[in-house]
């Protein structure tokens, strides 16, 4: 798996956009970037994934730089329920294989 680097923690005000960065400078051309999150006392939850194009779904947007060395997960209007640990993962075997989670970013959404 490509090594990913994320800040240990971030804060965001409720209703504002949360922008979570991830560095993956060693990512190879065929490795996707996946984002999962884990709300306290729950199992991880898939959010979004992408290869080189920006992606958007009902939960979030994923912006991947042109050189693919970094990406940003955007939660457009953060709510208190978005408080969680967010993991950026670049599995070499795709999502249909083991995921290496690391420590992720603890996002705290404040009222």
Partner 1 sequence: GAGVSQSPRYKVAKRGQDVALRCDPISGHVSLFWYQQALGQGPEFLTYFQNEAQLDKSGLPSDRFFAERPEGSVSTLKIQRTQQEDSAVYLCASSVPGYEQYFGPGTRLTVT
Q: What is the token pair recorded at 34?
A: 């996946």
Using the rule CB under 8 A, which residue among 43, 53, 66, 67 binds partner 1?
Answer: 43
Per-residue tokens: 18: 């949360």
Q: 3-class SS at 81? A: helix
Least CB distance to partner 1 at residue 15 (A)? 28
Cα separation, 70 vs 77, whole angstroms: 22
Instruction: Give the range of 10-18, 50-58, 67-75, 94-102 binding partner 1 by CB under 8 A.
Output: 94-102
Q: How far is the CB of 87 from partner 1 (least distance, A)?
A: 6
| Distances 31 to 13, 69, 98, 106 between C-alpha atoms, Å | 33, 11, 13, 24
In terms of CB distance, is 1 or 14 closer to partner 1?
1
Total of residues contacting partner 1 (CB under 8 A): 21
Binding residues for partner 1, rule: CB under 8 A, are 34, 41-46, 49, 85, 87, 94-104
């Amino acid at each position: 798996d490509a090594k990913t680097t994320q800040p240990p923690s971030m804060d965001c005000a409720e209703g504002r956009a949360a922008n979570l960065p991830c560095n993956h400078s060693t990512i190879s051309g065929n490795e996707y970037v996946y984002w999962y999150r884990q709300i306290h006392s729950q199992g991880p939850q898939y959010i979004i994934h992408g290869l080189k194009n920006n992606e958007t779904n009902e939960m979030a947007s994923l912006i991947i730089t042109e050189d693919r060395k970094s990406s940003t997960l955007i939660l457009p209007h953060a709510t208190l329920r978005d408080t969680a640990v967010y993991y950026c993962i670049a599995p070499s075997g795709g999502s249909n294989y083991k995921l290496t989670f690391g420590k992720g970013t603890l996002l705290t959404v404040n009222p």
